[in-house]
Amino acid sequence: MPIGDLLYACVECRTEGSLRRAKRGEVCDRCGTRYTRADGALIRCERPGQEPEVKHPAEWLDHLHEQPLHHPATTAAVTLRCASEYKPYTHAGVLLGFIEELGPPEEGTLELGPESIVFRSATGERRWPLDALTAVQPTTGTLNLKVRNGPLIALRFRTGSPLLWEERVKNAIQERFAAAGRGDIAEYLPRIVCG
């Protein structure tokens, strides 16, 4: 869902993850608001019974940030892959760097608690304390988390938006830092650094 990757909730009814692909664009399955791409990267929003409104994605995102979501999801269906090892990458006999080797995929649900991130699957439960995270790295479809002295965790979202979950995880880590008197976080990549 191209637009749904950016707009993690309907701008009209503020329901999270409600955009579904339709014959033309994407439609909120709660209030029927339709989203289509207009000129360039502009997004046209057609609320039922109202004139269409065209705005830049930055403006729509700001609009979403203005008010809290209705019934925000507390869990998301994800596919987890972990990378514990890094393979040297060479070309013509010269070491260029290292690349991560991701392990097999595992499907489950993700839950963000006040102290940790929990992944539950058929094989059991894995818990990563927020204090142990050293980096938060979003890609278009996945959210990558690095655990101190631990693996790189790649979470591909089957429901929910990685963009929204990135914000949630960052906010949760920031709250932990603030509570511990460690100040504001300046950046989350390549490692979490306070300003």
* Contact positions vs another protein (CB under 8 A): 2-3, 5-6, 37, 39-41, 56-59, 61-62, 86, 89, 91-101, 134-135, 137-140, 144-146, 152, 163, 186-187, 189-191, 193
**What is the rounded distance in angstroms from the CA atom of residue 79 to the CA atom of residue 158?**
7
**What is the rounded distance in angstroms from the CA atom of residue 186 to the CA atom of residue 184?**
6
> Which CB sits closer to another protein, 37 or 176?
37
Find out whether the peptide bond into 190 is cis, omega within 30 degrees of 0.
yes
> Which CB sits closer to another protein, 12 or 166?
166
The β-bridge partners of 119 are: 110, 126
| 108 Cα distance to chain centroid | 16
> Which CB sits closer to another protein, 22 or 99?
99
In the complex, minimum distance from the CB of residue 76 to another protein, in angstroms, rounded to a whole number: 18
* Token digits of residue 123: 């094989």
In the complex, minimum distance from the CB of residue 195 to another protein, in angstroms, rounded to a whole number: 9
In the complex, minimum distance from the CB of residue 141 to another protein, in angstroms, rounded to a whole number: 11
* Token digits of residue 179: 């509570």
In the complex, minimum distance from the CB of residue 73 to another protein, in angstroms, rounded to a whole number: 19
| Residue 47 near residue 27, CB atoms below 8 Å | no
In the complex, minimum distance from the CB of residue 95 to another protein, in angstroms, rounded to a whole number: 7
> Which CB sits closer to another protein, 40 or 104?
40
| Residue 146 near residue 135, CB atoms below 8 Å | yes
> Which CB sits closer to another protein, 77 or 163?
163
